[in-house]
Structure 1
Amino acid sequence: MDRVDTVLCCAAPDTRRHRGPAMFEAMMHGAGLPFTAPRGGVPTVVHGWSEPEWTLFPPPVGRRLVHQVYEMADLDVLAELCGAGTIAFKAGTEFTAVNRALGLFAALRARTGRPRTTRHWTPLVRAASWLVGRFGDEAGGFTVTVSGERDGRPITRRLGMTARQDGGRIPSLLAGIAVDHVLAGRLQTTGLVPLHSWLAPHELRTALRERGISLWRRDDEEGWRPWEE
């Protein structure tokens, strides 16, 4: 692309596997909490678990309701990397009622400022998540939608990945790949290391597929199809 305008990342975590208290504390703490995100190139105050929208994930995940989550590193990293004026990171479980309930809680907290702390809610929410998870699926997914301009024309590209089992491991995949590189002596730089400086696209695709991840692409308004080399 000649210019990148918007980057939208969407996560569909599995609900079968149970999470630890730290994840729930972060989720509840961010609900309704204000932070600044780029919108059309303008720093804009948004709130955690707001801006709901329906997103179509690749099979077997399908259609999910996702919300803007709390402040993520994407807001800074992607702005510097590709100059996008609008960046959002959204997520949603497979249970629409749960997503709507969290969105309602966030809206009330953003308006009233209460409760000021959510730590005492963690055990209750975690227990409810475990109960709901007994009826959930292990599949998980992630998509990236990039919109911009090429040769004077607007263009949108979508890439996705899914795991049919243990979908909650998707966020840790890059860390695992990095460990492989460190142990093999291929990654020796210390400190913050940009992904594209040590992992070529074809290496990333190979590493993901070796870990049971299916890769997808979607052009314009067509459906998802397997991403072939």
Structure 2
Amino acid sequence: MTKTYMELWLWLIITAPVLLVLQNWISRHTQTVFLLLTRHTGMAILINQIVFLPGVVLHEMSHLVVARLLGVPTMGFSVWPKKQSDGSLRLGYVHTKKVDFVRESLIGVAPLIFGCAAVAAIGLKLLDLDDVGIALLRGDFLNGFINVLHVFRSADLFIWGYVLFALSNTMMPSSSDRRAWPVLGILILIVGLVLYYVGMPAIIQTALSNVIIDAVRVIATAFTVTIGVDIVVIPILYSVEWILWQFVPGNRLKVL
């Protein structure tokens, strides 16, 4: 149990920063590609929103659903893009009433939970990527390659691949979603230390361990599937962007 527990956490710790780097790259360069195609800021933002719309809807709906379940009043909902004062692009929002940090943290983490569940379900159940992952973890690269070929033979590959791309690249909580996390993290750490030193019934320890292991496994699996999708998309996106830049005189893009 301890070995499995540590391996899962290591898996999550390795994949999380890799995913963040890839997602930031994809976010910047998809916007650049659409800007190069349209030469119009508003149109580029609109196309970007349409491409990622399935993920944006799931992201904001997860905020809304969890807020309602926790009895937190909502004062606004939108999946319409808006450029922020710092230059970043906000794809949507759910405005909620100011509440305690526990409920605020749960509402903030909702897109990650819903997104990971959706990504894991699509990747493992609909595209059978679990066979690829198992083969690679065992070091069986031949079977891993064969299973990848089976995935590419799927009739619904492009549909589910697109949905997977849109969901996975919008599931990470924004900076405002993470606002209450430090306080909640400190509280969980304190409670955990108290329970560790005071003692906890074995049945509760086992139940908590199983829940944590399952949660970490789903999140790490979703992160891995997303990384795999992004690794396929990035060379294509880079090539398209490079080609489009060749049509820009002096590499100086003029936009409306």
Same fold (TM over 0.5): no
The answer to which structure, 1 or 2, has the higher relative contact order (CA under 8 A, 6+ apart) is 2
Calculate the TM-score normalised by the size of structure 2: 0.21
Calculate the TM-score normalised by the size of structure 1: 0.23
Of Structure 1 and Structure 2, which has the larger fraction of its residues in helix? Answer: 2
